[in-house]
Amino acid sequence: MRFFLEIAYRGTQYHGWQRQPNAETVQQVVEASMSILLNEAVSIMGAGRTDTGVHAKQMYAHFDTNYKFDDASDFVFRMNAMLPKDIVIKKLFQVSDSAHSRFDAIYRTYEYWVYESKNPFLEPFAYRLKSNVDFDIMNQAADLLLHHQDFKCFSKSNTDVSTFECNITKANWKSHNEYSVFTITANRFLRNMVRAVVGTLLEIGQGKHPVTHLQEVLESQDRSSAGFSVPAHGLYLTEVGYPNELIKTHG
């Protein structure tokens, strides 16, 4: 039988989501607790990968087991009692045996948080800007992302992928009282893509480049043409979307 887990975590202390041989990851910690609780070796498959230090407000993962869950809420309670404070299981539900947390996902949404004035409560979870930026200008530039498909210019070098095409359906900045958030939604993302996009937009917002610079970067297909990669601690995976029949029927 196949099950989906809905998970959230603070990524500060972890070397990303995916299991690694010599570093602690979120996947590793969750699998270890589940294996103890179910008294069997458990392997989970996440909806994607988050890099070292990146957070997730919503991550899904699937796993297979013959264990009989009499009460899903009781399993969630016991898992959360075992897991460290920076990882939480939100939900467990059974799906069809063919459901896949990664390949069935139809979109992902990320947020990147920035702030300007010194703030001890935001410092661990958002990037402090070194100078003022123009958010209206950055939104003009971000709109160009919606009309492009190939994002090789924002991909980490030596990435083993078959295509650099992504379909971005949302990309904008919104300012709040003490911080601002960049939200971006796409069917898929390349490694380091969001952090490179944000770094490029910030350089435009700081007046280092005109809005048209982003179009030049996109057409270059060259990572060295794009801006710097912003730090991981301001990045959040906030939503993973699936077809209605998968989540609403089962979840």
Q: Which of these, 160, 164, 167, lies nearest to 150 by C-alpha position?
A: 164
Residue reference for tokens 């897991």: 83
Tell how strand 127-128 and strand 107-115 pair up.
parallel
Question: What is the chain's alpha carbon radius of gyration, rounded to the nearest angstrom?
Answer: 19
Q: Are 155 and 190 in contact (CB under 8 A)?
A: yes
> What sign for the dihedral angle of Cα 158, 212, 128, 26?
negative
Residues across the chain: 251
Is 51 among the residues known to form the active site? yes
d(C-alpha 18, C-alpha 10), whole Å: 14
Structure tokens at 204: 């435009």
Give 150's Cβ-side CA count (13 Å radius). 13
Q: Which of these, 230, 204, 229, lies nearest to 141 by C-alpha position?
A: 204
d(C-alpha 161, C-alpha 53), whole Å: 23
User: One of 51, 64, 74, 160 is an active-site residue; which one?
Assistant: 51
Residues annotated catalytic, as ranges:
51
